[in-house]
Structure 1
Amino acid sequence: MWTLDNLPRQALKARYGFEPDEAWVQRLMHASVRLASGCSGSFVSPEGLVLTNAHCVLRCVSELSSAKSDYVDDGFVARARADELRCPAEELNRLVAITDVTERIAAATANRSGQAYVDARDAEKARIEAECVGDDAASTRCDVVELYGGGLYHLYRYDRYQDVRLVFSPEYRIGFFGGDPDNFNFPRYNLDMALLRAYEDGEPVRTDAHLKLAREGAAPGELVMVTGHPGTTRRLLTVSQLQRLRDVDLINGLLYLSERRALLWQYGRGSEEAQRQARSDLTFTENSLKVLRGQLAALQQPELLGQKRKAEARLRKAAAAADGDPWAAIAAAQRAYRALEAPYQMIERALGFDSKYFELARHLVRAAEERGKPSAQRLREYQDAKLTRLEQTVLSSAPIYPAYEQTKLAWSLSKLRERLGPDDPLVKLVLAGDSPEALAAKLVAGTRLGDLTLRRRLWEGGFEAVSASTDPFIQLARAIDTVSRELRQRYETEVEAVEHKNAAILARLRFETLGTQTYPDATFSLRLSYGEVAGWEENGRTIEPFTRLAGLFARATATEPFALPRSWLDAKPRLDPRLPLNFVTTNDITGGNSGSPVINREAEVVGLAFDGNMHSLGGAFGYDETRNRAVAVHSAAMLEALEKIYDAGALAREMTAP
């Protein structure tokens, strides 16, 4: 997961005879895009067409759907520009510049610890980002990115596109063929692709930096690269941090998500409309569950922590006495977190208030207060450089379904009471003698936050308008905000500040040994991974790297999740059964890489990354080239589907034009 300003050129040359020049790197950087909602993509035409995954646009498609027009189940194709539909709350970012700001952060935080360290760091980051954005927040985004656990800080400046329109998304049955049983497995048979288009001033974005699809794809053993925005890895954590993750976060996360999955599944059984409302949440919940299970399984293997202990011991030998004992300090922070975890997760991270209404209310309440302060003194998500994206989220036109929100809220309030106890002062304050079900019903019946006009009035009216609001969700968010902020401050002071300050010490120790000869943990910043098309050995069995269309039809049944949409069944006689559908590579990727283009050395798209195998889930903590695999849709399959199934040959031609 190499940053584009520090590519492993010597390794690429030695292993594959490939020497990318600066023009190649710049073209790739400017052709890559990040979906602010958490995925990757790439420009694949000079007119703003963006290739990504179907699962990356599922929320957009769901929000554009209704009981009368279910684009999730039925798919969507815009055969003319006028038919393209604007996503209510999507944003695309294209990286244009990287600047090292490590010295500024180091100077601002020198000789500080605890809350003073957090405040100084966040204030300097806010100043740097504000200087970068200037007066151009509508079209520029700037993020200070922490690399190597605080060893480096880089400023990433992006072009920002908030007019993002849906062009193509396949039917759910083929975009998610195999469902949860096939997720993180291989062989796979998915057309997990979608197309968006970026607009600026009402016109498609014009870009010379774009990639084209190569119909022939890549051969076994061929060099392939993935460029995208991996979200989070934890390969530089200490042993005590990994133990806390294993024993606290992953266990509690699995319990919470398991119950949430059951809740959403049961809600969806009520009617076809209820199933439609819950489908995207259920899909993402099932995916998250599988990720956490895979990570827990990896951390439960004695070998992994054994390797980490050995690496830690080697680094300890290199530690200077002046550095103190950063491992002991980080271990103490983990003990502090264990005592704080339940209220912090349920209140500040709002797991006890699982409702879109509450999310909106909290943003309105906090934004009203925070915007009255200088940007550098605000909570991070309300600083000037972040407000454009936040406003888009709060003022999204996406529909909100009261019965669905009431169901989620009642359940999560019961979790709040369960985890904190019925005698907890905040639980008493929130429930005020009501049951979770009764309170959820009152809140949802009384709120008007589903009204976009009202939300706009509150957002624009600021502190005075929000303070005067009698909306029950606004009142709830206001009532718990003092306690919630105190929990956040404790977490930032007792845990986060200690981890970051001492991680920076460990980063310096690593630099003394390795410098930047290795890549930093994933931070949702642009990276390049190199590898090759290759299967692997599993229990004495060879897993071949390709699946083909014939295998899709052989695997299909008449029941979910292996039922094919009618369009594919009707098109079967026209399709080449030998055509590759999905394939695996040795590229090192993780969540956030979804939608990343898989490219050859000519920077042609040969595939579209959408998943990993089960072994890749342990990749959060380390990479094993023998078994970790990225899973991608083959370029030939994408073009075949557009041309022969969806009558979208014009889109195929747009993506393959010279």
Structure 2
Amino acid sequence: MAPAASAFTRSRPVRSRHLLAVCIGGLLGAPAVLADEGMWTLDNLPKAALQSQYGFKPDQAWIDHAMQASVRLAGGCSGSFVSPDGLVLTNAHCVVGCVQGLSSAERDLQNDGFVARAREEELQCPAEELNVLREITDVSGRLASAAAGKQGQAYVDARNAEKSRIESECVGDDEAKTRCDVVELYNGGQQHLYRYHRYSDVRLVFSPEYSVGFFGGDPDNFNFPRYNLDAALLRAYEDGKPAQVDHHFTIKPEGAEAGELVMVTGHPGRTQRQLTVAQLETVRDVSLINTLLWLAERRAMLGQYGRSSEEAARQAQSDLTFTDNSYKVVRGQLQALLDPQVFAGKRAEEARLREGVDAAPWNEVEAAQVTARQLAVPYMLLEQGRGFDSRLFGIARTLVRGADERAKPNESRLPEYQEAGQGRLQQTLLSKAPVYPEYEIAKLTWSLTKFRELLGTDDPLVKAVLGTQSPAQVATALVEGSNLADVAERERLWNGGAAAIEASDDPFIRLARIVDAPARAVRKRQESEVSSIESRAATQIAKVRFDKLGTTVYPDATFTLRLSYGDVAGWDENGKPIEPFTTMGGVFARNTGAEPYALPKRWLDAQGRIAQDTPFNFVSTNDIIGGNSGSPVINRDAEVVGLAFDGNIHSLGGNFWYDPRLNRTVSVHSAAIIESLKSVYGADALVEELLQK
């Protein structure tokens, strides 16, 4: 997960803020990005900078190998192939959805851990998908031609239709094994088509106990020193057999060394480093505030539910962990944007970019922020679904919208319902992961309360949803009256299309139909009055950036494959040096026997077998962000020396910039992975598979 924060890392020294403002403000005067900053696409690596700084210049064979050995978990993480038999290394926190979906009150794999000691013991994840990038194609010309001369909704529709055609052509008749995404880079300055090989049969091989994978919990999250075995193993299958892959990384059991060049190949989610100042002000004043308040209250609700029983705590465990994590991330981002020095740097950067060019694109974006602010709350509640925090509601919405959208020509559909993505959509919809009624009622009661609070009791949609009942009464009736927990019923409604939806009396289907039109209306306004204006302006701004800088600046992250480079190094925290490594012996010293510092019995029993001086976690200067979780940390020989799982507290501002003095990536050392599998879990067959050349 994202890194954890301690008391001594919560305040950033004034001199570092000044340095950051200077770095940002001076960016446009430099021919290339400074220090180890950058999440670079693999077709545009900064080879000259790598050669100059580290004496390393990857050739095309190295790049192709790194690209096809790297893996994307479609649910939002990264990973890598680490054996020719489709074995995938990723983070424990990235497989929580799989593990929880396979768990029950009788068999708690999440807290007890899981090791498959033979291939036949590997368990199929309910809704996991792996993607491996095969090809990148520039389709900028096609998108530009399709949208030429258009504005507003016509611009949105034209681009969406052309994207649909491009993706459908790419997938062809191989939907089962191919995924294609049109990706906007440089905020619309370029559009590339990414073609992936798709693995939809993914099985769990190894996951540690929750208390080890998340050791230190929220107090240690985004902090260092750190002592986490945030590592897990999956396996890709094809045609019922382990996938045979041509490219995989090998693990170097000695792991990373201090000062060594290390590279991270992964899929950072989304950064906002190239937004205009006006957009950043909306992010700061509206988006982050709304999200932070929602997360804070959701965290309290989940905590209260979990305290009601041991089983309730298990049901809410992963949601609570990720809500805690998200709260800390968003709070860190907000604190970063509240720093006057940072905004001064951003304004200086924008002023230099605008110098001598037409200011119209920036002015158009600024004008659109008025509407963006007006739509923020209804969009969050209705289109993002935060007013209906329920898995059953999400299922119902997919069924209702799916029936409507699939009746349209492919290019006229909402992007998420177009043919190219149908495989993933159905896989998620028909997941066999259990639904817990009492948990659904608790979440829905809370979110309906927020829905009424934020829109107002007299709002017509609030009246339509709640009528004369309380949120608790409505939530209870919805959950107890629904059959959508039954996978067969979902499949029947999906296959039955509009007629089946029209005939259904399921209360969640009725709710989704009531909410759908207002949600679509808010989405349409957001797209036509905000997103389309921002997108057109961003294309113009990107051209200015290209004219002044070329492509020596990396594009914002887009959950596509990137490479970041750096070295293994600690940092200085208010005059105190932070060493780059922790050891496995340190986790026993940190163990108190009480959560979140309680080691499981299996680890306590293995203490005497573990080499205590084995490196456990380490930090490096790599520039990463959420989505990079599970990324391999590799050396110049393309050997895995670590596994990225977090960042330090200073990296929380990484959504908006990179500070070379303080931003650090936190990783599990490869030696700790091997030592744990061998000495704690007795997984000798897995160790042998990982270490084969």
TM-score in same-fold range (> 0.5)? yes
Partner of 1:436: 471
Aligned to 2:364: 329
1:282 to 309, 314, 320: 320
How far is 1:470 from its partner?
0.5
Confirm whether residue 469 of structure 1 aligns to residue 507 of structure 2. Answer: no
Partner of 2:670: 635
Q: Is the 8 A contact 1:52 1:608 kept in 2?
A: yes
Task: For 2:71 and 2:610, locate their aligned partners in 1 and report how far apart those are by CA, in whole Å.
Answer: 31
- How far the C-alpha of 1:475 sits from its partner, in A, is 0.6
Residue aligning to 1:309: 347
1:569 aligned to 2:607?
no
1:90-109 aligned within 5 A? 90-109=128-147
- Which residue does the alignment assign to 2:546? 511
Structure 1 residue 133 and structure 2 residue 171: aligned? yes
Correspondence 1:446 to 2:481: yes
Displacement of 1:208 after TM fit?
2.1
Per-residue CA deviation, residues 307-335 of structure 1 (Å, 9 max, x unaligned), is: 1100111111142x4xx511111111111
Which residue matches 2:687? 652
1:155-166 alignment runs, 5 A limit: 155-166=193-204
Partner secondary structure for residue 524 of structure 2: helix
The match for 1:263 among 274, 294, 301 is 301
Aligned pair 1:210/2:248, yes or no? Answer: yes
Normalised to the residue count of structure 2, the TM-score between the two structures is: 0.94
Q: Structure 2 matches for 1:614-633, cutoff 5 A?
A: 614-633=649-668
Stretch moving more, 53-62 or 213-222: 213-222
The CA distance in 2 between the partners of 1:633 and 1:597, in whole Å, is: 10
Q: Is the 8 A contact 1:174 1:190 kept in 2?
A: yes
Cα drift, residue 489 of structure 1: 0.2
Equivalent residue number for residue 127 of structure 2: 89
What residue is the counterpart of 1:357 in the other structure?
392
Q: Which amino acid aligns with 2:674?
A: L
Q: Between Structure 1 and Structure 2, how many residues are aligned?
A: 655
Pick from 187, 191, 196: which aligns with 1:153?
A: 191
| Equivalent pair of 1:30/1:210 in contact (CA under 8 Å) | yes
Of 608, 612, 618, 1:583 maps to: 618
Kindly indicate whether residue 238 of structure 2 is the aligned counterpart of residue 200 of structure 1. yes
Corresponding residue number in structure 2 for 1:542 = 577
The residue aligned with 2:159 is 121
Q: Are the aligned partners of 1:535 and 1:585 in contact in 2 as well (CA < 8 Å)?
A: yes
> Which whole-Å CA distance do the structure 2 matches of 1:375 and 1:202 have between them?
31
Structure 1 unpaired stretches of 5+: none
**What SS is found at the alignment partner of 1:55?**
helix
> Partners in 1 of 2:116 and 2:502 — Cα distance?
44
Alignment match, 2:408: 373
User: Which residue identity lines up with residue 457 of structure 1 in the other structure?
Assistant: R
Tell me the distance in 1 between the aligned counterparts of 2:257 and 2:436.
48
Partner of residue 171, structure 1: 209
Q: Which amino acid aligns with 1:437?
A: A
* Aligned equivalent of 1:8, options 26, 46, 49: 46
Q: Deviations over 1:513-535 (max 9, x none)?
A: 11110110000000000000000
d(CA) in 1 for partners of 2:534, 2:313:
42
| Deviation (angstroms), 1:466 | 1.2
- Partner amino acid, structure 2, of 1:209: H
- Is the partner of 1:393 in helix, strand or coil? helix
Paired AA for residue 162 in structure 2: E
Residue type of the alignment partner of 1:409: L
Q: Which residue of 2 aligns with 1:500?
A: 535
Distance (Å, rounded) in 2 between the aligned partners of 1:622 and 1:155: 26
2:635 to 581, 600, 603: 600
Query: Higher mean Cα deviation, 335-344 or 197-206?
Result: 335-344
Alignment check: 8 A CA contact 1:318 1:509 kept: no
Q: Sequence identity, in percent?
A: 64
Give CA-to-partner distance per residue, 1:46-80, whole Å, 9 cap, x none.
00000000000011101100011100100000000
Give the Cα separation in 1 of the matches to 2:191 and 2:251: 35
Residues 547, 580 of structure 1: 8 Å contact kept: yes
Do structure 1's residue 46 and structure 2's residue 90 form an aligned pair?
no
Q: Distance in 2 between matches of 1:651 and 1:97?
A: 31
The answer to whether the aligner puts 1:231 opposite 2:266 as a matched pair is: no
Q: What code does the residue aligned with 2:424 have?
A: R
Give the letter aligned to residue 170 of structure 1.
P
Asked whether the 8 Å contact 1:54–1:192 carries over to 2, the reply is yes
Deviation at 1:381, TM superposition (A): 0.5
Partner SS for 2:255: coil
In 2, Cα distance between equivalents of 1:427 and 1:16: 60
2:71 maps to 33
Helix, strand or coil: the match of 2:434? Answer: coil
**Candidates 282, 297, 300, aligned match of 2:338:** 300
Aligned-pair Cα RMSD in Å: 0.7
| Separation in structure 1 between the aligned mates of residue 154 and residue 60 of structure 2, nearest angstrom | 41
Runs of 4+ in structure 1 over 3 Å off = none
Offset at residue 277 of structure 1 (A): 0.6
Read off the aligned partner of 1:338 and give its amino acid letter.
R
Corresponding letter in the other structure for 2:196:
Y
Q: Which amino acid aligns with 2:682?
A: D
Q: Distance in 2 between matches of 1:312 and 1:8?
A: 24
Separation in 1, partners of 2:300, 2:97: 20
SS of 1:458 mapped into structure 2: helix
Shift in Å, 1:511:
0.2
Q: CA deviation at 1:238?
A: 0.6
Query: 1:314-363: CA deviations, max 9, x gaps?
Result: 111142x4xx5111111111111111111111111111000001000000
| Whole-angstrom CA distance in 2 between matches of 1:318 and 1:153 | 26
Is the contact made by 1:533 and 1:586 (CA closer than 8 Å) also made in structure 2? yes
Q: Deviations over 1:206-255 (max 9, x none)?
A: 01200111011121111000000000100000111111111111111111
Q: Give the Cα separation in 1 of the matches to 2:426 and 2:497.
A: 12
Q: Give the Å deviation of 1:176.
A: 0.3
**Residue type matched to 2:665 in 1?**
A
Work out the CA distance in 1 between the residues paired with 2:80 and 2:538: 33
Which residue is 2:96 aligned to? 58
Could you say which residue in structure 2 is the equivalent of 1:181? Answer: 219
Q: In 2, are the aligned partners of 1:198 and 1:204 still within 8 Å (CA)?
A: yes
Amino acid paired to 1:298: A
CA deviation map 1:534-561 (0-9, x unaligned):
0000011000000011211111101000
Structure 2 CA distance for aligned equivalents of residues 624 and 129 of structure 1: 37
Q: Which amino acid aligns with 2:89?
A: L
Q: What is the correspondence of 1:379-418 to structure 2 with a 5 Å cutoff?
A: 379-418=414-453
Instruction: State the alpha-carbon separation in 2 of the partners of residues 632 and 168 from structure 1.
Output: 18
2:383 is matched with which residue: 348, 364, 379? 348
1 CA distance for matches of 2:534 and 2:490?
A: 38
CA contact (8 A) 1:190 1:633 kept: yes
Residue by residue, what CA displacement relative to the aligned partner does 1:407-446 show, whole Å, maximum 9, x if unpaired? 1001000000000000111101111111101100111111
Distance verdict in 2 for CA 1:318–1:33, change over 3 Å: farther
Query: With structure 1 as the length reference, what TM-score do the two structures score?
Result: 0.99
Ranges in structure 2 where 5+ consecutive residues have no aligned partner: 1-38
Q: Deviations over 1:261-285 (max 9, x none)?
A: 1111111111111111111111111
Which of 292, 301, 304 is 1:254 aligned to?
292
Structure 1 residue aligned with 2:257? 219
Q: Which of 504, 509, 525 is the equivalent residue of 2:560? A: 525
Deviation per CA, 1:165-202, whole angstroms, max 9, x where unpaired? 00000001110000000000100000000000000000
